[in-house]
């Protein structure tokens, strides 16, 4: 086993930090809000961490290994759905939407308890075992690590669900008018009332259009999807673009708050560059807002001339000392001119 994920209470800190716990040496500790501690056996390479907390919402995506066709036949697709529904029950997830495409899958998940890592490990390893046993093969079924994008709330999740349900339309597998006929999606199960336990829609339906989870509500939602499917030019306007990228989907303020709370994740070498940058920028922005309030200044005052003002230079120094913010970012966001100028100001004062 390459990694071990353990949950700890805050009073376990000293025990964890002394030597080892269950034979593993901690590389990183995060005790914020019941989050999960990620530890590695000494000498192992760090891999991408997950942000977990009770009630978290995610857009989860993974592909077949070497982009192989995962769901090339009915039996494989049904086997995956059976495993998914088992995982939903086993780990008490709320499954809000899913779509299986030929070589990848999308899930919209809610975890009442922080069980994403444990549940996804079970789901993918169980599916791989069953697949390999059936095919008489061995090896990895999925392409490395799955992607889990945090989602702010049910309003944002509603957009993710639209994106998931419209995947077959975007891929030209079905016409927009046939979106409910795509067999390997949660949509026909919702519309026809044949959904398994754990598949739920009431929260995001209400947030997306004020619809109830009944026949009238599903008729209205279907009409909404058909209209969107016919007019891809509206997708950006509706916030349906880029929902498979990045690390979080939500408002700028929420993203900054999450980035500040979990900024230590940026130290992990398993993160993508854009994820590291956003986590760092979120931390720096939060520090700027906090220190502006302490100095009783506003963002508008950052744009006043002359650019070099003592309070701004001291503010830059404080933020840099607190967070390690880059000179370039500080110069740009504090209205201090070019990075070289700020570097000179800091050296002289």
pLDDT tens, position by position, 222-232: 999 999 999 98
pLDDT of residue 328: 92
Euclidean distance between CA atoms 244 and 15, whole angstroms: 39
In order of start, what are the domains of the chain with their CATH numbers?
4-40 (no CATH), 56-250 (3.30.70.1290), 253-348 (no CATH)
Q: What is the pTM of this model?
A: 0.72
Res. 15: pLDDT tops 50: no
Residues near 289 by Cβ (< 8 Å), separated by ≥ 6?
none
Q: Other C-beta atoms within 10 Å of 347: how many? A: 7
Res. 47: pLDDT tops 60: no
Res. 66: pLDDT tops 70: no
Res. 303: pLDDT tops 60: yes
Residues near 167 by Cβ (< 8 Å), separated by ≥ 6?
99, 101, 106, 185
pLDDT of residue 42: 38
Q: Other C-beta atoms within 10 Å of 171: how many? A: 12
pLDDT of residue 308: 86
- Please give the residue that has the higher pLDDT: either 133 or 139: 133
Chain Cα centroid distance, residue 96: 15
C-alpha dist (Å) from residue 191 to 188, 209, 310: 5, 16, 63
Q: Other C-beta atoms within 10 Å of 138: how many? A: 8
pLDDT of residue 285: 85
- The pairs formed by 205-209 with CB atoms below 8 angstroms and a separation of 24 or more are 205/158, 206/154, 207/153, 207/154, 207/155, 207/157, 207/158, 208/155, 208/158, 208/159, 208/161, 208/162, 209/158
* Helical spans, DSSP H, in the chain: 13-17, 74-90, 116-135, 154-165, 167-170, 186-192, 202-209, 215-230, 252-261, 273-294, 310-323, 327-333, 339-348
- Please give the residue that has the higher pLDDT: either 144 or 195: 195
Q: Which pair of structure tokens corresponds to residue 86?
A: 């088992």
First to last CA, the chain: 53
Are residues 209 and 224 in contact, defined by beta-carbon separation less than 8 angstroms? yes
Res. 137: pLDDT tops 70: no
Res. 133: pLDDT tops 90: no
Q: 48-52, 148-152, 300-304 — which one is most confidently predicted on average?
A: 148-152
Res. 110: pLDDT tops 80: yes
């Amino acid at each position: 086993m390459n990694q071990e994920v353990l949950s700890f209470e805050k009073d376990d800190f000293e025990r964890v930090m002394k030597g080892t716990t269950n034979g593993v040496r901690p590389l990183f500790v995060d005790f914020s809000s019941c989050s999960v501690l990620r530890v590695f056996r000494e000498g192992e390479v760090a891999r991408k961490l997950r942000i977990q907390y009770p009630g978290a919402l995610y857009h989860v995506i993974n592909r077949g290994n070497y982009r192989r066709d995962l769901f090339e036949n009915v039996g494989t697709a049904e086997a995956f759905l059976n495993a998914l529904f088992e995982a939903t029950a086993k780990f008490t997830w709320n499954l809000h939407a899913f779509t299986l495409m030929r070589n990848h899958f999308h899930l919209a998940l809610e975890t009442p308890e922080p069980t994403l890592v444990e549940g996804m490990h079970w789901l993918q390893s169980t599916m791989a075992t069953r697949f390999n046993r059936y095919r008489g093969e061995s090896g990895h079924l999925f392409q490395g690590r799955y992607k889990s994008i945090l989602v702010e709330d049910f309003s944002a999740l509603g957009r993710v669900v639209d994106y998931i349900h419209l995947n077959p339309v975007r891929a030209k597998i079905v016409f927009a008018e046939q979106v409910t006929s795509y067999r390997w999606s949660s949509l026909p199960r919702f519309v026809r009332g044949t959904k398994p336990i754990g598949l739920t829609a009431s929260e995001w339906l209400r947030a997306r259009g004020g619809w109830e989870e009944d026949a009238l509500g599903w008729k209205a939602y279907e009409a909404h999807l058909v209209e969107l499917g016919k007019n891809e030019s509206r997708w950006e306007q509706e916030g349906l673009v880029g929902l498979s990228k990045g690390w979080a989907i939500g408002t700028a303020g929420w993203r900054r708050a999450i980035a500040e709370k979990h900024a230590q994740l940026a130290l992990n070498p398993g993160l993508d560059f854009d994820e590291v940058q956003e986590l760092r920028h979120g931390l720096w922005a939060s520090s700027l807002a906090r220190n502006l309030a302490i100095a009783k200044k506003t963002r508008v005052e950052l744009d006043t001339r002359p650019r070099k003002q003592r309070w701004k230079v001291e503010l830059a120094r404080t933020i840099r000392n607190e967070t390690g913010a880059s000179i370039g970012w500080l110069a740009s966001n504090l209205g201090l001119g070019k990075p070289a100028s700020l570097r000179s100001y800091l050296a002289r004062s």
